[in-house]
A and B are shown apart, each in its own frame.
Chain A
Amino acid sequence: MKPMELNTNKKPVWCPGCGNYAIWNALKGAIAELGLNPWEVVTVSGIGCSGKMVNYIKCYGFHSLHGRVIPVATGVKLANKNLTVIANGGDGDGYGMGLGHFIHAMRRNVDITYIVHNNRTYGLTTGQASPTTLKGVVTKSTPEGVIDEPVNPIVYALSAGATFIARGYSGESELLKELIKEGINHKGFALIDVLQPCVSFAKEFSYDFYDNRVYKLDDNYDFTSKENAYKIAYEEDRFALGIIYKDISKPSYEEQHSVLKDKALVEREVRVRDISNILSAYK
């Protein structure tokens, strides 16, 4: 299958130059190169420009609520662990509204891949500050500049026990595709935080801003070290791209759940169950 065949007949309505196109292409490329059957892939999204992604990829797609990508995706995966579940959302969606779900998802380590379109702004609602907008930036909702400290998703993920943490960039589509592939192949929760320029509302965080600040982690980088990962996560003036942290020693949630060990939940027939055993305890 070629990535093109994963197109739906809907044309993306993102602004010309939006970083979401690169994520879209990378995701299609990843699904195609992994040879996944599209009808066995579910993309789940939140709400925002990022959330529109599900409409443009020909596989099952659940365009959920603002901030609720993670629990919906978790429900899908727990019901049918045979599916490839890919969650998509924005930084407002996932690090604002859905921050609680995000942290808990990593404690759980359900096998889903979570791609955050991190544009440091609220795109769809036309440019308010998001939880990752850096301090001092003037937006519609912060005319005197942001005072809050930004959310550092990599640090949050590390401290919440994530087993796969990567950073991608819309300006590095090939790398992004490889990271998504790695994330999908990882057995457990995979976070891919993507630096995604929003050309309409986050002018401070343009391609130029990132092009000068991103660098690729080299092959010698040891992503099994949490210490390394924290160092990278706290870098302020430059952004490492690649797999920042990976731990394959922890089993996924599904692997630990007694009900899911041998079969997917939906592989068990729904039938009227015999409750005489239960009732006899109440006689």
Chain B
Amino acid sequence: MSMLKIKIAAPAGFGIMSMGPLLAKVLKRYGFYVMGYPEYPSLIRGGYNSYLLMISDEPVYSPYEKTDILLTYSKLSFDKEDLKSDTIVIADFEKLRVDKSNLNCKVYDIPFAKTVKEEGLPDIVQNIIGIAYLCKGMGIDISVLKEVLKGALSDKVLEVNYKAAECGYRLCTEHFVNVEWEKRDLNEHIIMTGNEVAATSAITAGVNFYSTYPMTPASTVLHFLAKYAKDYNIIVKHTEDEIAGITMAIGAAYAGARAMTGTSGGGFSLMVEGLGLAAITETPLVLFISQRPGPATGMPTWQEQADLRFVLHASQDEFVRAVFTPGDLKELFYAVFDAFNIAEKYQIPVFVLSDKYLSESIFMEDGFKTEGLKIDRGYIFEGDKSDPMNLFPRYKEYKDGIPKRAFPGTPGGIHKTPSNEHDEYGFVSDDAFIRKEQQERRFRKLENLVKEMPTPLLYGDETADITFVSWGSTKTVLFEAMKYEKNFNFIHFPSIYPIDWKSTKGLLETRKKLILIENNFTGQLGGIIAENTGVFIEDKFLKYDGRPFFVEEVLNILKRVS
């Protein structure tokens, strides 16, 4: 296995967030596997943005701490980055006013600023010059870069960027990195962020209504769906707030739309009231929640997985919901697709829980198989034209706790849909018997639902001594660590509620040593496992500094415990 870690860094506003994916695409087209992880503060200009790319001749899943090559346009790099003697730093030292003689690393001093001035190019294309410089240094033909530029940029700015690319190639006079690795044909692979995949999956699943209010790191789902709304006949509405976002989606779903909303924890706090409305009215709704650290506004652009308990328990009273916790692009794609079917089939709210790291990092996949995928809209009353004024028992059990839906406009389907407890026709009721009957019916949905949720799975060598227990995106780092260390395996939870705890308990109990790994302070999954199985995982590896796990950290843990 060969591996190279390149970081591009610059003040916000310099285009780093698009340079990372651009370079990643070039590398993929050239024949390397790539994974990319961006870090950025909540600033539009200034500050310190970085994009870390992991490049390999094998699939690569997660970020590392150590950088091999740093291409930087920011003086801050020299404080923020851990530069080792073998780190290659590419920068315009004159422009940054950094004294390179004091640096204990390999330095390439490139006059980016002077070049754009001499060539009459806009300042901003220094970023492309740098990318081109890197590409040449790795021996990648300029045609690959130009092809990617062509796909990414409008015709208006293409010439300027081509020129910048040529400047970068000219400035680089040596292959300063050795990547004489075996190349693969990765042309059919896609390279996408989690949010792009979540939105694409929603489109696949036939979503036709998405209403929400922007909140990082979920906002790009809104942007993506808005971009494709016209092509696919989707109503995408940026509402006045999250309360309107979720209740509008509920209104639409009630009327027959396939509806979804999406936000982060802060926005979901506002949506909780609407969540209860979806539950009591049995209106199907998909909620895409991308986590970030902190209560209230927290750290908008950083990583944490601490909203699991929140989505599991949000709202007063008790009701059936489903919670998916996908760990990678594939799981995310199928979780979102299934979420729509499950929401409509069981007439419940369904969560897909992502986080900043999964939502905004870029990963590679060999595509998504969509043959065989089916839409299941659940039980729907088709109407009765002969008796259009009939009152319809909307909340009467049809099968397995599930009633039939009747969309407004359906003759013979007239019923009421209240936020109060209600009888079979939807009339408000506080009758003790009716309350009990309705509550029991709604909970009867669990029995079949649990069979449809993906179960925790063991990855790696069955007989290994150490077993990590993870949910959500931490799956990726454990996969990556397995490249180096074989004496561990892990149990990953792609969904957490409702799942079959009996078999899960069995899976956990037959392991030699369990270590919980979670991006939160309290080890939320650990608590949930203890509550449901009596298995208490004492060893915990918890991280809550706003960053995802890095591979080296996992390897260090393994060293410590074995």
| A interface list, Cβ under 8 A from B | 5, 8, 10, 37-40, 42, 44, 47, 52, 54-55, 58-65, 68, 70-80, 82-83, 100-101, 104, 257-260, 265-266, 268, 270-275, 278-279, 281-283
CB of B542 closer than 8 Å to a CB of A: no
The interface of chain B, by Cβ under 8 A from chain A, is 151, 187-192, 196, 200, 203-206, 208-209, 211, 228-230, 232-235, 237, 239-241, 243-245, 247-259, 273-274, 277, 281, 367-368, 370, 373-375, 377, 388-389, 391, 407-420, 426-428
In the assembled complex, which residues on chain B have CB atoms less than 8 Å from the CB atom of A278?
Answer: 200, 203, 228
Partner of A101, one of B240, B377, B408: B240
B-side contacts of A59, CB under 8 Å = 414
Q: Which of B188, B230, B255, B411 is in CB contact (< 8 Å) with A259?
A: B230
Q: In whole angstroms, what is the CA distance A277 to B273 when docked?
A: 38
The reply to whether B418 and A63 contact each other, CB–CB distance below 8 Å, is yes
Report yes or no: B414 in contact with A75, Cβ–Cβ below 8 A: no
Q: A72 CA to B250 CA in the complex, in Å?
A: 7
The answer to whether B235 and A39 have CB atoms under 8 Å apart is no
Q: What distance in Å separates the Cβ of B263 from its nearest Cβ neighbour in chain A? A: 15
Q: Are A260 and B206 in contact (CB under 8 A)?
A: no
Of B373, B413, B428, the contact of A63 (CB 8 Å cutoff): B428
Residues of chain B within 8 A of A281, CB atoms compared: 151
Whether B233 contacts A268 by the Cβ 8 Å rule is yes
Residues in A with CB closer than 8 Å to B203 are 273, 275, 278
Supposing A75-B249, A259-B229, A282-B196 touch, asked if A265 and B235 sit within 8 A by C-beta, the answer is yes
Q: B417 and A62: CB pair below 8 A? A: yes
Q: Given A60-B415, A61-B417, answer yes or no on A260-B367 (Cβ-Cβ < 8 Å).
A: no
| Nearest-neighbor residue (CB-CB) of A270 within chain B | B206
Q: Are A39 and B389 in contact (CB under 8 A)?
A: yes
B146 CB → nearest A CB, Å? 16
Contact between A40 and B408 (Cβ–Cβ < 8 Å)? yes
Q: Across the two chains, which residue of chain B brings its CB closest to A69?
A: B247
Which residue from B191, B252, B413 sits with its C-beta under 8 Å from A76?
B252
Contacts of B204 in A (CB 8 A): 272-273, 275
Point out the residues of chain A lying under 8 angstroms from B257, CB to CB. 75, 78-79, 265-266
Contact B408–A78 (Cβ < 8 Å): no
Please, which residues of chain A bring their CB within 8 A of the CB of B412? 39
Alpha-carbon separation in the docked complex, A216 to B485 (Å):
85
> Smallest CB–CB gap between A36 and chain B, Å?
12
Using Cβ atoms and an 8 Å threshold, which residues of chain A touch B191?
282-283
User: Is B388 touching A37 in the complex (CB atoms < 8 A)?
Assistant: yes
Expressed in whole angstroms, the Cα–Cα distance for A78 and B95 within the complex equals: 54
Alpha-carbon distance A201/B187, docked complex (angstroms)? 72
> Are A62 and B254 in contact, CB atoms less than 8 angstroms apart?
yes
Distance in Å: Cβ of A47 to nearest Cβ of chain B: 7
- Whether the Cβ atoms of B200 and A259 lie closer than 8 Å is no
- B251, B391, B409, B417: the one contacting A40 at CB < 8 Å is B409
A272 touches B374 (CB 8 A): yes
Contact A270 B151 (CB under 8 A): no
27 sampled A-B residue pairs with Cβ under 8 A: A5-B389, A10-B427, A38-B414, A39-B388, A39-B389, A39-B412, A40-B409, A52-B428, A62-B281, A62-B417, A65-B277, A68-B247, A71-B248, A73-B251, A75-B251, A76-B254, A77-B255, A79-B251, A79-B256, A80-B407, A80-B409, A82-B409, A265-B233, A265-B235, A265-B252, A272-B370, A283-B189
* Contact of B414 (CB < 8 Å), options: A39, A55, A72, A73: A39
- Quick check: A65 and B427 within 8 Å, CB to CB? no
Complex Cα–Cα for A65 and B271 (A): 12
Chain B min CB distance to A278 (Å): 5
In the assembled complex, which residues on chain B have CB atoms less than 8 Å from the CB atom of A265? 208-209, 233, 235, 252, 256-257
| Across-interface contacts of B254 in A (CB, < 8 A) | 62, 72, 75-76, 79
- Inter-subunit contact A283/B255 (CB<8 Å): no
Evaluate contact between B196 and A39: CB separation under 8 angstroms. Answer: no
Contact A54 B416 (CB under 8 A): yes
Q: Evaluate whether A259 and B256 lie within 8 angstroms (CB atoms) in the complex, with A39-B388, A270-B206, A273-B204 already known.
A: no
Most chain B CB atoms below 10 A, which of A60, A65, A77, A278: A60
Cβ of B407 and Cβ of A72 under 8 Å apart?
no
Task: Return B477 CB to nearest CB of chain A, in Å.
Answer: 23
**Given the complex of chains A and B, what is the CA–CA distance between A265 and B255 in angstroms?**
10
Nearest chain B residue, comparing its CB with the CB of A42:
B408
Q: Which residues of A contact B411 (CB under 8 A)?
A: 37, 39
Task: Give the nearest-CB partner of B191 in chain A.
Answer: A282
- A59 to B548 Cα, complex, angstroms: 52
CB atoms of B230 and A79 under 8 A apart: no
Q: How far is the CB of B285 from chain A (nearest CB, A)?
A: 11
Minimum CB distance partner of A64 in chain B: B419
Q: Considering the chains assembled together, what is the distance between the CA atoms of A160 and B409 in angstroms?
A: 31
Cα separation A72 to B240 with both chains bound (whole Å): 13
Residues of A within 8 A of B232 (CB): 273
Determine if A44 and B200 form an interchain contact, defined as CB atoms under 8 angstroms apart.
Answer: no
